[in-house]
Amino acid sequence: MGVEIERKFLVPDGETVPDGREFAVRQGYLVLGPEGAEARVREQDGACSLTVKRGTGLVRGEWETPLSADQFADLWPATEHARVDKTRRIVPLGPDEAVVDTYHGRLAGLRTAEVEFTDPGRAAAFTPPPWFGPEVTDRPEFKNQRLATADAPPLP
Amino acid sequence: MGVEIERKFLVPDGETVPDGREFAVRQGYLVLGPEGAEARVREQDGACSLTVKRGTGLVRGEWETPLSADQFADLWPATEHARVDKTRRIVPLGPDEAVVDTYHGRLAGLRTAEVEFTDPGRAAAFTPPPWFGPEVTDRPEFKNQRLATADAPPLP
């Protein structure tokens, strides 16, 4: 496994997000276990998958398999307790790209932008564009698992 | 959901189990969550499946979908922490049937017999055949989840 560093920012109301390819994402958690363990199904841009994550730090593991639409339909009802429904836009940012998520349903009003780096130096040197708001990388209430079970968007 | 009552017994060493159709079962837990929540993959008699269970009592839910052999192979490595490998034999018992599991690996030496009933009266009136040993229906250490993470067979 390579190093993977992600920084996450809010995109405030009123900011205009640059154009980019856009598609629907819905994901739901089948089971949320201790220490970040999870089994999650996702439909993204029409493709479905199942992902399992478990462990922390050096022993963290991740496994994934594609699902057919029928399999996704069998499992989706099991995620009713922990779902996220959003529109994702991929915005080029020079050599990087921002993954901008506009949330729907309970989380309507929330927009986030994530940028992924493979190099810690590049991550630290990254200059957010003017339409990025406050950074929330280290705020647990903005983690995917927490958002999936939140009743409303976390306060900025 | 219908009522489903299961009674589980040990099958002591030295007892001879009557003939029946036999096949291999291996199952592993992807994620073990709180209050019995689980996501499990199983290969039984050559057919693979994924099952999600969550909740207790009246709000208990169960969802299942078939998996291809490739999907099972993608996910099986995620279960290394919690697996069970056994040979299952289906033994007719008059109007009922016993599901007899002979465990392998860490649990070698353990044999159990389960009988499932749809009627509480029938479950209570059931007379175990002479080759059944002590009943373990209410002993938590003999539940499937617990067996999957046990280092050795529980004491009888």
Q: In tens digits, what is the pLDDT along chain A, a chain of 156 residues?
A: 455 789 999 999 999 999 999 999 999 999 998 888 999 999 999 999 999 998 766 567 899 999 999 999 999 999 998 999 999 999 999 989 999 999 999 999 999 999 999 888 889 999 999 999 999 999 999 998 899 999 999 998
Residues of A in Cβ contact (< 8 Å) with B77:
63
Is the reported ipTM for this assembly greater than 0.95?
Answer: no
Residues of A in Cβ contact (< 8 Å) with B33:
31-34, 37
Q: Is A103 a catalytic residue?
A: no
State pLDDT tens for residues A115-148: 999 888 889 999 999 999 999 999 999 998 899 9
Q: What is the DSSP string of chain A?
A: ----EEEEEE--TTPPPPP-EEEEEEEEEEEE-GGG-EEEEEEETTEEEEEEEE--GGG-EEEEEEE-HHHHHHHGGGGTTSEEEEEEEEEEETTEEEEEEEE-GGGTT-EEEEEEESSHHHHHH----TT---B-TT-GGGSHHHHHH-SSPPP-
Among candidate residues B29, B72, B103, B132, the one labeled active-site is B29
Among candidate residues A9, A29, A103, A132, the one labeled active-site is A29
- Select from B39, B63, B77 the Cβ nearest to the Cβ of A77: B63
State pLDDT tens for residues B76-97: 999 998 999 999 999 999 999 9
- The model's pTM is 0.85
H helix count then E strand count, chain B: 3, 8
Tell me which chain B residue has its CA closest to the CA of residue A61.
B78
How far off is chain B from A49, nearest CA to CA, in Å?
A: 10
Give the tokens for residue B14: 């030295």
